[in-house]
Amino acid sequence: MTTATFEYHRPATKRGTLQLLSELDGEVSILAGGQTLLREVHRDRARPDHVVDISALRDECGTISATSTTLVVGLGVRQQELLNFGPSRHDALLEALRCMGNYNVRCSGTVTGIVANSDPACQLAAVCAAVGATVVIESVRGSRRIAASELFAGVRKLARDELVTEVAFDATTTGEGTAFQQVAQRSVGGPHLAGVATRILVEDGWCTEAAVAVAVRGQYPRALVDVAGLLTGTRLRNADLGAASEALAQELTVGDDLFASAEYKTHGLRVLVNRTAHIAGIRAEGNT
Amino acid sequence: MERGRDYSDATVRVECTVNGEPWSVDAPVGASLAEQLNNNGVTTNVGCGEGSCGTCLVRVDDRLARSCLTLAVQTEDAEITTVHGLNAGAGSELTDIQRAISAEGGLQCGFCTPAFVLLLQELADSPPRSRAALRERLSSVTCRCTGYSGLVRAAERVLESGHAGDHIRRHEDERFLTGRGSYIGTRNAPDQLWARFVRSPYPHAAITRVQRDDALAMDGVEAVLIADDLPQSARSFASAAAVEADLDARFSECTLARDTVRYVGQPIVAVIARSRLVADEAAEAVQVEYEVREADEPVRTRTLQHVGTTVGTYPGTYVRSGEFYIGRHTAMPMECRGMLAVPKADGLTLHGLTKQVRSNRDRIAALVGLEPDRIEVASVDTGGAFGVKGELYPEDVVVPWAALHLGKAVKWIEERAEHVLAANHSREQSWEVSVVADERGQLQGATAELTVDVGAYHRPLTDLMPKFSSALFPGPYRLPNFVATGHNRYSHKTPTGPYRAPGRFEVNFVRERALDMLAADIGITSTELRLRNLVGLGDLPHEPGTDAEGGLCLRDEDFHTLFAEARAIMDKIPKVSPVRSVRRGVACLPFLDKAGVGVEESASVQLERDGRVIVTVASSSSGQGHETTLAKIAADELGVHPDWVSVHDGSVESGVDGLGTFASRTALMTGNAVAAAAVSLSDKIRSAVASTSGVDVESVRLSGGSVQANTTEVAIPELATSLLEDDMAATATFHFDGHTYPYGAIVLVVDVDVETFVARVGNIDFVCDVGAVLDPTVVRGQIIGGAVQGLGGALMEELPYNAHDEPLVRDLNDYPLPLAADVPEIGVTVVDRPTKSNPLGVRGVGEAATAIMGAAVGCAISDALPEINDEITRLPLTPSALHAAWVRAGSPSLSTTTAERDEHVWMGE
């Protein structure tokens, strides 16, 4: 019988969790909001030897704190809690979160869980790449901070004894605006066809800095440097937005999937680059 | 539904509170909360087992959790509330929310109802700020029956007024609202075994070897069955299909595949084990070796319809040719299939049959080698069927035979991942059409080549779809000449069968799109073209000459009046969207559907000694509310309160017989049979009373729950104690040879974002004549629920395969169904006018709205985007498909009138 089983752990403290993670052998899966793991187990995509349920850490770590520059979201904060908190200067983040799952899923799923799972095509991946977010990763060996986009892009990975304990999202500063938009087949719950996050910095009506990233199936979230470059130094007029979004196809190759053709995805991403740059620009102008 | 590895050797003691009761149970460490609840008598309906559908929601402490994604061990110390906890204690009142859902028709089959009860409870505790927000919150759970309309109204009722509604509307509602629905998942027999099927992973392959020793050696495995283990009678499934003799197929379907598999998902081996987990494990241990084969996809061609002469083209006439495609869909009821077969002394009891219960029982009996009357059918609640569930499938033969063979009860519950591959698919049709009109726009004739991708095998009703499609091609229009040729393509896809509005969803799209294009050629509006050809009262009776299990004949259909009413609605709709990048399109279409398939149906009505009335019928409900509607019919005839009447889908021994529940036929066939039986019983009672009281039978009346003869009045319960046995029951059979025709017109608004090609349906209005309305809420529920199901097929649902016939959809996540936020307001105006074609005057209501949705969405989108009118030829019209149509049309510029750009460019806001 090829029976696999796992041992279930529910540590009560962060310290205890890190200690446990340092001691466990075999495949370890962390269970936070619980919207992913069991589905993966059912589909035989995960065969953990140990499941570490960190829901008890919510009291200790699950806080949200906002300063003028950063929004710090602790381990265990649920996605809907962050939406209800509604931090200002985080437009793209909130817009992306609103597109994820559905209300009920967001009431269980955690923000740090999204980052730890690092699905490269998810909405938050694009936000992290375009707007910027830092992940605090802890283990008994100490803690480190890395750019969240590096986790999503698969450039860096969590070590087996590590836990994502915090995500810090960069707030927009004066003259800065962000936006996230997506196209999906349904109003709620996907399938998500294409998503774009954009950050724009303006000064005296000119775009002085821009960042654009996509969330689309089968594509790592990349900051589109050329597209952003074409926005920079313009006044974000329709022609400028058009030229920048037209350049997307040179910088990005997407494939067909069962919901949309590559051509459509490219087309949709162009539209969304155009729209998010426009909106982020307006927000930047208003952000004084 | 739960699929996982066997964690049974590692159980954990879990202590929690369930509905206020302290629980202390040993749970396998990998078990989900849903499994745990179900194993301990708290029934929780699992629709997908993968966190998509939300039917398994339960409250865990402060939030609603998907119990299929929650580990039982996670709930240590948690407080769990299920729907059963809301009405603790016998006889306790339903909550305001439960009564509001009932009052507003927010439930049909009841499978998702417990989840919506909890969801509405949560909404009441933290109310949303707008109707849009309300619809978004309701989008956490998928309902396949109601179209959400009743649920939205129920939520608004509770949120706004706190007024719940006074009574429970349907007989069925109370048990569904309190989590006591008796679905197949909740049926268990002592010491039952579990079946699991090993299925083909290949579209086409030879089976070279089946190695089952490892599986057989596993502890708890009772049998591992292959094709040769089945008795001769049960090996050929094709025989059950009663395939037409003229079918020149080069293959016939085996119940369990023996030498060849022809589609991904085809069952090959059945593992029977003492627990579900062991059955799953053992199925994985079975090794099947294959030799992959090239595709072999024969096509069978025949003439489907031939009306008048083959038209030529005349000088000055318009000919419009076009190719159309309707994607592959399936019904996707929220409950998967399942069966429990329990051996008894002289045969079997089967739980889980639905739709065509009698004929399936007879076929199963023949296949497993029993006399039909030795199979007893236990009635169950069915969590949605829509034509796909309740067809006969190979599993329906293997499970009963295994139970007979092993002498033990065998249960099988399909997983969602199996359902998408193994339950019938439907629709996928390709059409080449030519429509000819004279210079005044009068239709002269049409030709059609129809290719149906019927899938790997010819199932019992495979030929129904092309037959219905071609028969309904003329629709509500005069079409003097019509020739249709059909091609069945036997591909390596899942076999096909009927799905709500079979053939008609498809043909309505094809015809109406072709008419739009023809109108553009002629230079008149589509509405004008439709008006010029619409069958008028003066044309009646009108025989289009086509055949769909009998020739069509229209006798009392007033298309023009209803079409005019719909046009009046259309004229009030603003044609411009306030959103910059969005164009609005409106479709206004007359429609004709056909319903009712005879030939006969019987029913019995019995008066009990306590005055209660029992109606016994042969049709089983899958959410349509038979217990209510049929009770009302009997109650009306007998002059008693409907609450006195209970309806049973009778055991075979009951003596009632019939074909079952499909083709929108229950009100027509079963309803009329119940009415006739009730009239006959009423006559018997009146005669008995007349003879005992010495009055003329004509002067005896039944009303208000009593019998009135001259000046005396006796309450029915009192009378019932003294009547002769013979005077207390009547059985009647209703014969009907032909069709009924629900018809009307639809107005549908669509807003298309010309940049993203996302189309969102705005308001929908139906003006329709479904004949006599037996129950306004049921009728409305069928129309709205049917419309939303059709909307899914028009905009998002599809089962694509790759070039090698490998399915791309593997679970519910891959097959999006409309959610509350996708569904617009749907207005329904029903002409309550009995048709003369049958005593009850009903026309059938289950499918007409579904049937017209693809056409309405397609025509509305083309109204919004006339530049690409010629390319809107395929369903579903996903953003990607609409973009492809635009590209085919040469990527024309699609400007919008409101050029100013603002922050609200995104339609979702």
The model's pLDDT over A125-153, given as tens digits with 9 standing for 90+, comes to 999 999 999 999 999 999 999 999 999 99
**Residue B887 Cα, gap to closest chain A Cα (Å):** 10
What pLDDT, in 10s, does the model give residues B443-455? 999 999 999 999 9
* Across B347-366, average pLDDT: 91
Give A-chain residues touching B30 at CB under 8 angstroms.
5-6, 41
- pLDDT higher than 90, residue B460: no
Q: Which residue has the higher pLDDT, B653 or A19?
A: A19
Confidence bin at B78 (pLDDT 50/70/90): very high
Cα gap A282→A261, rounded to integer Å? 31
Q: What is the distance in angstroms between the Cα of A139 and the nearest Cα belonging to chain B? A: 24
Does the CB of A241 have a partner CB in chain B at under 8 Å?
Answer: no
**At B257, is the secondary structure helix, strand, or coil?**
coil
Is the previous residue joined to A191 through a cis bond, with omega within 30 degrees of 0? Answer: yes
Span of A45-59, A234-248, B551-565, B592-606 with lowest mean pLDDT = B592-606
Per-residue pLDDT of B863-884, as tens digits, reads: 999 999 999 999 999 999 999 9
Burial of B120 (0-12, 13-18, 19+ CB in 10 A): buried
Res B1 pLDDT > 70: no
- CA gap A209, B143 in Å, rounded: 47
Residue A98 C-alpha, separation from nearest chain B C-alpha, in angstroms = 11
Q: Check residue B249 and give its pLDDT.
A: 56
Q: What is the pLDDT of residue B166?
A: 66
Cβ partners under 8 Å of residue A169, min gap 6? A70, A71, A73, A90, A93, A127, A131, A132, A133
N-to-C CA span, chain A? 66
Q: Does A107 reach chain B within 8 Å, measured CB to CB?
A: yes
How sure is the predictor about B88, in pLDDT bands with cuts at 50, 70 and 90?
low
B32 interaction partners in chain A (CB closer than 8 Å)? 38
B contact residues 72-91, partner A, Cβ 8 Å cutoff? 73-74, 76
> Which two structure tokens, joined as six digits, stand for B417?
């991942």
- Chains A and B form CB pairs within 8 A to the count of 170
Average pLDDT over every residue of B167-183: 90
- Mutation target to probe the B interface, by most B beta carbons within 10 A, among A186, A245, A269 is A186
Q: Residues 437-456, chain B: which have Cβ within 8 Å of A? A: none
- B-chain residues near A41 (CB < 8 A): 4-5, 30
Q: Determine how many CB atoms are found less than 10 A away from the CB of residue B894.
A: 18
Would you say B364 and B400 are in contact if contact means Cβ atoms under 8 Å apart? Answer: yes
HSE value, Cβ hemisphere, 13 Å, CA-based, for B394: 33
Q: What is the pLDDT of residue B624?
A: 80
Collapsing DSSP to helix, strand or coil, B786 comes out as helix
The DSSP-derived string for B576-616 is S-SSTTEEEEEEEEEEE--B---SEEEEEEEE-TTS-EEEE
The residue among A246, A267, A285 with the most chain B CBs within 10 A of its CB, best to mutate, is A267
**Residue (of A181, A195, A172) closest to A283 by Cα position:** A172
Rounded Cα distance, B279 and B195, in Å: 6
The reported pLDDT for the residue numbered B2 is 37
Distance between CA atoms of residues B617 and B605, nearest Å: 9
Q: Mind giving me the DSSP string for A192-233? A: EEEEEEEEEEEETTEEEEEEEEEEBTTB---B-HHHHHHHTT
> Residue B169: which pLDDT band, with cuts at 50, 70 and 90?
confident
Contact B218 A1 (CB under 8 A): yes
What tokens does B809 get?
């959809």
pLDDT at B273: 98
What pLDDT does residue B193 have? 98
Residue A268 sits at the chain B interface (C-beta within 8 Å): yes
Q: Is B150 helix (H, G, I), strand (E, B) or coil?
A: helix
Of B653 and A165, the structure prediction assigns the larger pLDDT to: A165
Tell me the residue length of chain B.
909
Query: B733: pLDDT confidence band, cut at 50, 70 and 90?
Result: very high
Contacts of A53 by beta carbon, 8 Å cutoff, 6+ apart: A8, A9, A10, A31, B71, B73, B74
CB B729 within 8 A of CB B683: no
CB contact under 8 A, A2 and B800: no
User: CB distance A55–B7 less than 8 Å?
Assistant: no
ipTM of the complex: 0.96
Chain A: residue nearest B133 by CA?
A: A103
B681: contact with A, CB 8 A cutoff: no
pLDDT tens column, B803-844 = 999 999 999 999 999 999 999 999 999 998 999 999 999 999
Inform me whether the pLDDT recorded for B632 exceeds 70: yes
**Under an 8 A CB cutoff, do B10 and A5 touch?**
yes
Give CA–CA dist A196/A214, Å, rounded. Answer: 4
Please list, residue by residue across B38-77, b when 16 or more beta carbons sit within 10 angstroms of its beta carbon and e when fewer do: beeebbbbbbbbbbbbbbbbbbbeeebbbbbbbbbbbbbe
Token pair recorded at residue B697: 């039978």
The pLDDT of A102-126, averaged and rounded, is 95
* Cβ-nearest to A271 among B63, B136, B756: B756
Return the percentage of chain B with pLDDT > 90, whole number: 77
Containing B750, the helix (H) or strand (E) segment is strand B743-753
Task: Decide if A258 touches B, using CB distance below 8 A.
Answer: yes
Residues 158 through 187 of chain A touching chain B, CB cutoff 8 Å: 181, 183, 185-187
Q: Tell me if residue B830 falls in helix, strand or coil.
A: strand
Q: In angstroms, rounded to a whole number, what is the distance separating the alpha carbons of residues B851 and B858?
A: 13
Q: Look at B816 and A186 and tell me if their CB atoms are within 8 Å.
A: yes
Q: Are B139 and A187 in contact (CB < 8 Å)?
A: yes
Compute the mean pLDDT over every residue in chain A, rounded to the nearest whole number.
Answer: 93
A108 touching B (Cβ < 8 Å): yes
Give residue A34's region: left, alpha or beta (phi > 0; psi -120 to 50).
left
Percent of residues, chain B, with pLDDT higher than 70: 94
Q: Residue B165's pLDDT is what?
A: 65
A185 to B29: CB separation less than 8 angstroms, yes or no = no
List, for residues B587-617, the tens digit of each pLDDT value. Answer: 999 999 999 876 788 999 999 999 999 999 8
Q: Is A84 on the interface with B (CB under 8 A)?
A: no
Tell which B residues from 282 to 321 touch A, by Cβ distance under 8 Å: 284-285
pLDDT in tens, B834-873: 999 999 999 999 999 999 999 999 999 999 999 999 999 9
Do strands B645-649 and B700-703 pair parallel, antiparallel, or not at all (unpaired)? unpaired
Q: Choose among B790, B772, B797, B798: nearest CA to B848.
A: B790
CA B815 – CA B329 distance, rounded (Å): 9
Does the pTM surpass 0.90? The reply is yes
Give, as one character, the DSSP assignment of residue B94. Answer: P
Least CB–CB distance from B816: residue in A31, A185, A279:
A185
Residue A140 CA to residue B722 CA, distance in Å, equals 86
Looking at the complex, report in whole angstroms how far the Cα of residue B334 sits from the nearest Cα belonging to chain A.
Answer: 17
Element (H, E) at A278: helix A262-286
Taking all residues of chain B, what is their mean pLDDT, rounded to a whole number? 91
Residue among B5, B63, B756 whose CB faces A3 most closely: B5
What is the DSSP secondary-structure string of B428-482?
EEEEEEEEEE-TT--EEEEEEEEEEE--SS--TTTTHHHHHHHHTTTTTB--S-E
B 754-783 → A contacts, CB under 8 A = 755-758, 760
Smallest CA–CA distance, residue B651 to chain A, in Å, is 38
Query: Does residue A216 carry a pLDDT above 80?
Result: yes
Q: Please write the tens of the pLDDT for every residue from B225-265.
A: 999 999 999 998 886 655 554 455 567 899 999 999 999 99
More confident position, A46 or B481: B481
For the record, the structure tokens of B114 come out as 């417990």
Interface of A with B in 33-62 (CB under 8 A): 34-35, 38-39, 41-43, 47, 51, 53, 55
A189·B141 Cβ contact <8 A: no
Q: What pLDDT band is residue B581 in, cutting at 50, 70 and 90?
A: very high
Both structure tokens of B167: 């009574």
pLDDT at B162: 65
Measure in Å the smallest separation between the Cα of B2 and chain A Cα atoms.
7
Find the CB nearest B758 among A1, A43, A183: A183
| Cβ neighbours for B893, distance < 8 A, ≥ 6 positions apart | none
Contact between chains at B809 and A258 (C-beta distance less than 8 A): yes
Q: Which of B502, B357, B510 is nearest to B425 (CA)?
A: B502
Distance CA B840, CA A138 (A): 73
pLDDT classification of A185: cutoffs 50, 70, 90? very high
User: What sign does the CA torsion over A87, A88, A92, A95 have?
Assistant: positive
Measured between alpha carbons, how far is B909 from B901 in angstroms, rounded to an integer?
15
> Distance from B383 to chain A by nearest Cα, in Å?
22
Phi first, then psi: give them for residue A177, nearest 5 degrees.
-140, 150
Amino acid at residue number B295: A
Check residue B314 and give its pLDDT: 67
**Is B191 at the interface with chain A, CB within 8 A?**
no
Best of A7, A39, A77 to substitute, by most chain B Cβ atoms within 10 angstroms, is: A39
Q: Is the predicted pLDDT of residue B654 greater than 70, yes or no?
A: no
CB contact under 8 A, A34 and B70: yes
A155–chain B nearest CA distance, Å: 28
Confidence of residue B87 (pLDDT cuts 50, 70, 90): confident
Nearest residue, CB atoms, B140 vs list A2, A104, A185: A104
Where do we find the tokens 């048709």? B835
